[in-house]
Chain A
Amino acid sequence: MRRLLALLLFALLAVPLAAQEEQSTAPYAYRQLDDPRQEDAAQALMESLRCLQCQGQSIADSDAPIAGSMRSLVRERIAAGEQPEAIRAWLIERYGDYVSYAPRVTSLTWPLFALPLVLIALAALLLRRRFTRRDGA
C-alpha cells in the first residue's frame, strides 16, 4: 500500500517528457501590447484567424506554438501601424481563405450569400399568394 502511494506520488511529480517541447521566442505570443486600443484591434483580428495546427480554434484561443508565432506577428504589425485587414490579406496570400474566419464574397462563395436572399424572396412570394387567395375567398 505504501509502495503504491509512493508510486502515485512519483506519477504526480513526474515531468512529462513532452514538456521539453518547442519554445517560442516570439516576443508577443503571450504579451499584450502596451497601447490598449492597439491590443483591442489585435485581439479582434486574432479571434478571426484560424490556428493552422488546431484548426477548430482561433489563434487567440490556441496554445499551439505556431499560433503564438501568429499572435506575435499580428501584434507586432499592429504596433507598427499596419491595418488589420492588410495583415489578414498578407496571411490569406500565403495560406488561402482557410486561414481567415471572416468569409469573403468570391466567385466560389457568392451562392452562399445569394441563397438566403432568394429564399426570402420566394417565401414572400408564397405568402403573398396565400394571403391574396384568402382575400378572394
Chain B
Amino acid sequence: MTEQTRKTSRWTIWLPLALFAAFVVLVLIGLFRPAGRDVASTLIGKPLPAFDLPPALPERPGLASTAFGKGQPRLLNIFASWCIPCRVEAPQLDRLKRMGVPIDAISVRDRPEDLRGFLAQNGDPFQSIGADDDGKVQLALGSSGVPETYVIDGKGTIRYQHIGEIRPEHLPLILEKLKEAGR
C-alpha cells in the first residue's frame, strides 16, 4: 500500500463513528424539542368553504358561510360546551366583542341544554351559533380540534387560524390579524 491510501483509510475508519454520533445528536434534538402536534388547516389564503348550519339554539340564528365576506373582517370561533379550554378563552372573546369585533361560532358535537349552560356560565359573545352535530363543517374547514378561531376577511377569505384557546397574551396577535384582514 502506498502512503496515500494508508492516509485515506485512517481517515475513513472514523466515518461510521461520526455518522453514529450525528444520528445520536438528531435523536436528542427530537427528544428535547419535539415537533408541534398541531395540525394546521391548509386553507389559509383560500375562500371559506360553503356551509349552512342550523341554529345551535332554537331561539338564535344559525350560521351560513354567506354571513362572511360582506366587507368587514369577522372571527369564526369553533367551540363546544364540553371543551374545557373553551372556558379559558371566553373572557378574551368577550373583550374582543366589547372592542367591536363581530364573532360567530360553530359548536361542534354539542347539545342545546349543555350549550345553554355553557353560555350562561361563560358569557355569550356570539352573534350567531351554528350547530355542527356530525362535525362535517369542522372537517371542511380543516379544523382539527376545539377551540380554534379563524379570521375571515371582508372578501370571505380565511386569513388566519388560531389553534387552541386565545389567552390574554394572544389578544394583540388576533387584533393584528384582524387589522391585516381589514386592509
Q: Which of B42, B83, B108 contacts A94 (CB 8 A)?
A: B42
Indicate whether A107 reaches chain B with its CB closer than 8 angstroms: no
Q: Which of A24, A66, A92, A96 contacts B40 (CB 8 A)?
A: A96
**Docked complex: A5-27 residues within 8 A CB-CB of B:** 20-27
Report whether B139 and A70 are in contact in the complex, using a CB–CB cutoff of 8 Å.
Answer: yes
Question: How many residues belonging to A are interface residues under a CB distance threshold of 8 Å?
Answer: 26
Q: Which of A21, A27, A94, A96 contacts B139 (CB 8 A)?
A: A94
Question: How many residues belonging to B are interface residues under a CB distance threshold of 8 Å?
Answer: 25
**How long is the Cα–Cα vector from A27 to B37 in the complex, in angstroms?**
28
Report whether B39 and A25 are in contact in the complex, using a CB–CB cutoff of 8 Å.
Answer: no
Residues of A within 8 A of B (CB): 20-27, 52-53, 55, 65-66, 68-70, 72-73, 91-96, 98-99
Residues of B within 8 A of A (CB): 37, 39-43, 80, 82-83, 108-111, 114, 133-136, 138-142, 144-145
Q: With A69-B134, A72-B136, A94-B140 given, name 9 new contacts (CB 8 A).
A: A21-B82, A25-B133, A26-B133, A52-B39, A66-B135, A68-B135, A69-B139, A93-B42, A96-B40
